[in-house]
Amino acid sequence: MKQSTFSLLAAAMVVGIVISSPRSAQNSERGMGMNMPTFAGSDLDGDGAITKDEFTKARSERIA
């Protein structure tokens, strides 16, 4: 009985690892919120700071 419980638990762990692998996560990246903006993508002039105008322009470009 203990051996079959251990085998079942081990099989469940393997299935869990396979399901949560990075390869399967790549397929779920297409949903809303997964394409998060980056700092570099919002710092349009590359000066290391994001002004309100840069933020607004970058956001408008992402939405379009």
Q: Name the 3-class secondary structure at 3.
A: helix
DSSP letters of 5-61? HHHHHHHHHHHHHHHTSHHHHHHGGGSTTSS---HHHH-TT-SS---HHHHHHHHHH
Q: How far apart are CA 16 and CA 18, in angstroms?
A: 5
pLDDT digits (tens, 9 = 90+) for 43-59: 999 999 999 999 999 98
- Same-domain check for residues 59 and 39: yes
- Same-domain check for residues 52 and 41: yes
- Same-domain check for residues 21 and 36: no
- Same-domain check for residues 12 and 37: no
- The boundaries of the domain holding residue 14 are 1-30
Domains contained in the chain, number: 2
Q: Judge contact between 54 and 44, C-beta under 8 A.
A: yes
- Same-domain check for residues 40 and 61: yes
- pLDDT grade, residue 38 (50/70/90)? confident
pTM of the model: 0.45
